[in-house]
Structure 1
Amino acid sequence: MTQNTPQAPRFAGKTVLITGGGTGMGFSAAELFLAEGAKVVITGRNADRLKVASERLDGGDRLFAATADVAKPADLDRLLDEVGERFGKLDVVFANAGVGVFKRIQEFTEEDVDYVIDANFKGVFYTVQRSLPLLRDGASIIINASWTHHRGLAIGSLYAATKAAAANLAKTLASDLADRRIRVNAISPGYIDTDMFQESVPTPEEREDSARQSVLQRVGTPEEVAATVAFLASDAAAFVNGVDLLVDGGVVNAIPA
């Protein structure tokens, strides 16, 4: 009679950095990685939000939360110095932090442009760049892009352009970091039920319209995105590199019946 040997959690002994980890997809990813045995670092700009997230995650000494603005290299350097002292090396980076401002192009201000580019492109770029000294050879980087850079959306010009730039990094960095066997992939979530979605799509009618755009006739959950991030970070995706993986229920590539 064959006896099954319990398998170790997928990320036992690994350390994961998640930017924008206080809510939404970042929070759900932190929850999943902790459940799978990882040590997890979450960061964001809002100290109160991080405190609440830390209490909910209850990760003990496997969880470290610290405020940082990813668009400021000095903040990231300080954060990563602390991560190095606490955990040593990094095995996974989920560059998740991002913001959205949705307007017609003529309505954008200079402040809007700087705000979105700082978070959605500069923040991703600096997160990867400043993490490199701590990343082990063979590590995995996942960049959070968006379905909006695959289809035109009238009020999404600024947001989609920054997400297209972030997604492109997955291709170029996969080549740039190949000598260290660091895999770099992007995900492009569709309509996902996060705080940002609730704020951007405030009425029940608008949310129903968003759901109808998916062939699955619903919006996604942060947990479903987290599962995709964990797959890309795992050994199961060892030969997946430089891709932009849609997690959108079919919004981009299929037409609802």
Structure 2
Amino acid sequence: MPQTSEGNVHANQYREPKPSQGGPSRPVSELFRLDNRTVIITGATGFLGTTLAIAIFESGADVVCLDLLPTPIAANWGEVESAAAKYDRRLSYYQLDVTDENAVSETFAKFIPTLRYPVKGLVTCAGLSRNGPATDFPASSFRKVLDINVTGTFLIAQATARELIRTNNTGSMVLVASMSGYGVNKGVDTAGYNTSKAAVHQLTRSLAAEWGSRLEIPLIRVNSLSPGYIRTAATAEALQKPGMESQWIGDNMLYRLSTVDEFRAPVLFMLGDGSSFMTGADLRVDGGHCAW
């Protein structure tokens, strides 16, 4: 039996799974379902955020979208609205700078009273990458990357955890990290970005340890997603560099770049009850890039 240094058994080591947490009585068909809950997405108008919002609607949840712009201008935002209508889900959008602690609290205070289902999920897609040689990279740019990717992720996770505790609801968080948190991308100078994503991995483990092992609060699972290279408008500029696309393709075992759609199932898995025994982990979806 696991024991403390004083020889006393940790009671929280034996928190038994409930059917609502993916226990044995849960039908397989429901393990990816997100019914009767609200999921928050930051960076919601980005290429990953909009794709995940549509997938989450299809899986049964309402979605609160948070992003920096006053109104969503994503090219496929109409598809997000159409999916909400098609599946009879609620979609809301709020402008938010995730690095502003007061704004995070104020925004949560605005949308929480409007929800029909409790918050039970979070996906943090908000992030920033800036390239440049480390010898010339401005400290201000380095700080901004860390502030958005790490501090912003922490503040949103903190606010979500407070809401879960207030309502006594279990929940699951997916913090978007990157394979760049494991190693260095060949051909691009992104010391700040790589550092920030490694920090997200450690933040994931730290929050999971705090919020998964305390019996006085509801169970909050925290995991991260580490995507590999994704072919989107955001990577188009980098791919213009001679030889870059062939290098990126050759750096993984599947010899291609990923598409945004390929991250829907991993995120739904981590949000849903099918991953009930998973916390403090990173799900690397990189085509084998880091396994060479």
TM-score, normalization by structure 2: 0.79
- Equivalent in 252, 255, 262 of residue 214 of structure 1: 252
Aligned residue in 1 for 2:163: 134
Aligned residue in 1 for 2:286: 248
- Equivalent in 204, 212, 235 of residue 197 of structure 1: 235
2:183 equivalent to 1:151:
yes
Shift of 1:174: 0.7
Shift of 1:83: 2.2
Shift of 1:51: 6.6
2:101 equivalent to 1:69:
no
- Equivalent in 136, 141, 144 of residue 115 of structure 1: 144
**Range 222-231 or range 131-140, more displaced:** 131-140
**What are the within-5 Å matches in structure 2 for residues 13-28 of structure 1?**
13-28=36-51
Distance 1:50 1:129, change over 3 A: farther
**What are the within-5 Å matches in structure 2 for residues 24-43 of structure 1?**
24-43=47-66
**Range 242-251 or range 218-227, more displaced:** 218-227
Shift of 1:116: 0.5
Q: Which amino acid aligns with 1:139?
A: G
Give the match's secondary structure for 1:107. coil
Q: Give, in whole Å, the separation in 1 of the partners of 2:151 and 2:139.
A: 16
Distance 1:236 1:93, change over 3 A: same
2:195 equivalent to 1:161:
yes
Structure 1 regions of 5+ residues with no counterpart? none
Q: Give, in whole Å, the separation in 1 of the partners of 2:40 and 2:73.
A: 14
Q: Which amino acid aligns with 1:30?
A: A
TM-score, normalization by structure 1: 0.90
Give the match's secondary structure for 1:211. helix
Shift of 1:156: 2.1
Distance 1:108 1:30, change over 3 A: same
Q: Give, in whole Å, the separation in 2 of the partners of 1:248 and 1:230.
A: 17
2:120 equivalent to 1:86:
no
**Range 61-70 or range 151-160, more displaced:** 151-160
Q: Give, in whole Å, the separation in 2 of the partners of 1:206 and 1:185.
A: 31
**Would you say the 8 A contact 2:46–2:74 is kept in 1?**
no
Shift of 1:53: 5.0
Distance 1:53 1:68, change over 3 A: farther
Q: Give, in whole Å, the separation in 1 of the partners of 2:200 and 2:240.
A: 26
Aligned residue in 2 for 1:46: 69
Shift of 1:115: 1.6
| CA displacement 1:22-65 (0-9 Å, x = unmatched) | 02111111110011111001111123445755432112461111
Q: Give, in whole Å, the separation in 2 of the partners of 1:208 and 1:112.
A: 29
Shift of 1:240: 0.7
What CA RMSD, in Å, does the superposition of the two structures yield over aligned residues? 2.0
Which structure has the larger Rg over C-alpha atoms? 2
Q: Give, in whole Å, the separation in 2 of the partners of 1:174 and 1:238.
A: 13
Aligned residue in 2 for 1:56: 79
Q: Which amino acid aligns with 2:262?
A: E
Q: Give, in whole Å, the separation in 1 of the partners of 2:237 and 2:181.
A: 20
Q: Give, in whole Å, the separation in 1 of the partners of 2:241 and 2:71.
A: 27
2:220 equivalent to 1:182:
yes
Q: Give, in whole Å, the separation in 1 of the partners of 2:44 and 2:153.
A: 14
**Would you say the 8 A contact 2:174–2:267 is kept in 1?**
yes
| CA displacement 1:56-80 (0-9 Å, x = unmatched) | 2112461111110101112211221
**Would you say the 8 A contact 1:50–1:66 is kept in 2?**
no
Distance 1:216 1:52, change over 3 A: closer
Aligned residues: 249
Aligned residue in 2 for 1:95: 124
**Would you say the 8 A contact 2:172–2:220 is kept in 1?**
yes
Q: Which amino acid aligns with 1:33?
A: I
Structure 2 regions of 5+ residues with no counterpart? 1-26
Distance 1:198 1:52, change over 3 A: closer
